[in-house]
């Protein structure tokens, strides 16, 4: 019997979503343990005592932390088509753009959602500028094929694609008239996003923008309640 696989996290987190997509691509069955909104379980804190963040992958009871590390672990630990490119140089390029996406998108999207301070319009422009860079990266990495990974979804597709639901949610929260993922400025990326969300390994895992907006309201209320209850 194979060792059990457990994902500890929250359905709305892009970092958790990407882990679930990778496991589904590999055909790995797993148990999903949903964290309570605004709280951290003892299992999470025990499994990731350094950063105290989700997601955590438990494989045979052994924890693997940080989503980019988990993706690479999943690629190496389970059989099936590779998520990362076989060529070392291309692997390095995909890792570079994955780090770039997380560095440029995560905080700016949180600002747009009102989760951290800052100007929402400026944050939206930061996201748009990053997506224009990723438009060029898509052309470079895909070689004219449908995905960053070529003929099928790969590592970089999973990383960038995990934010797609939050693009729409952040736009609604910020009250933008024009979306950050705009067909006029990033046509390749817009077409790629539609393909990615329709992929059989993705479509049941990609959160809906309206549901994410509702989640954002619940999260803000939960965090505010936690702050007010502190002595």
Residue 24 has pLDDT above 90, yes or no: yes
Which CB contacts under 8 angstroms, 24+ apart, belong to 202-207?
Answer: 202/21, 202/24, 202/153, 202/161, 205/17, 205/20, 205/21, 205/24, 206/17, 206/161, 206/164, 206/165, 207/11, 207/12, 207/17, 207/165, 207/166
User: From CA 58, how far away is CA 31, in angstroms rounded?
Assistant: 10
Which CATH number applies to 88-213: 1.10.110.30, 3.30.70.270, 1.20.1050.10, 3.40.1590.10? 1.20.1050.10
What local confidence, expressed as pLDDT, does residue 147 receive?
98
In degrees, to the nearest 5, what angle opens at C-alpha 205 toward C-alphas 200 and 210? 125
3-state secondary structure of 202: coil
Does the pLDDT value for residue 134 go beyond 60? Answer: yes
Write the pLDDT tens digit of every residue in 50-60.
999 999 999 99
pLDDT of residue 1: 47
Where in the chain is CATH 1.20.1050.10?
Answer: 88-213
**pTM of the entire structure?**
0.94
Cα(189)–Cα(207) distance, integer angstroms = 19
Label residues 37-69 b or e (16+ Cβ within 10 Å = b): eeeeeeebeebbeeeebbbbbbbeeebbbbbbe
Residues of each domain in the chain carrying CATH 3.40.30.10: 5-77
CATH of domain 5-77: 3.40.30.10
Token pair 């140089």 is found at: 89
Report the alpha-carbon distance of residue 46 to residue 50 in Å, rounded. 9
pLDDT at 69 over 80: yes
């Amino acid at each position: 019997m194979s060792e059990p696989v457990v994902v500890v996290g929250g359905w709305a987190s892009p970092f958790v979503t990407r882990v679930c997509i990778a496991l589904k691509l590999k055909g790995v069955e797993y148990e999903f343990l949903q964290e309570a909104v605004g709280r951290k379980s003892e299992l999470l804190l025990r499994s990731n005592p350094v950063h105290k963040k989700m997601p955590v992958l438990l494989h045979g009871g052994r924890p693997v932390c940080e989503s980019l590390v988990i993706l690479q672990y999943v690629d190496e630990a389970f059989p099936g088509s590779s998520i990362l490119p076989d060529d070392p140089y291309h692997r390095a390029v995909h890792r570079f753009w994955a780090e770039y996406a997380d560095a440029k998108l995560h905080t700016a999207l949180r600002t747009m959602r009102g989760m951290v301070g800052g100007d929402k319009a400026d944050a939206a422009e930061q996201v748009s500028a990053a997506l224009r860079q990723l438009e060029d990266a898509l052309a470079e990495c895909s070689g004219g094929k449908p995905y960053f990974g070529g003929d099928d979804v790969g590592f970089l597709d999973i990383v960038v694609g995990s934010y797609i639901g939050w693009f729409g949610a952040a736009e609604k929260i910020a009250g933008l008239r024009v979306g950050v993922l705009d067909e006029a400025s990033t046509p390749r990326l817009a077409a790629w996003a539609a393909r990615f969300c329709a992929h059989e390994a993705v479509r049941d895992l990609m959160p809906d923008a309206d549901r994410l907006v509702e989640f954002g309201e619940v999260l803000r209320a939960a965090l505010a309640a936690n702050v007010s209850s502190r002595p």
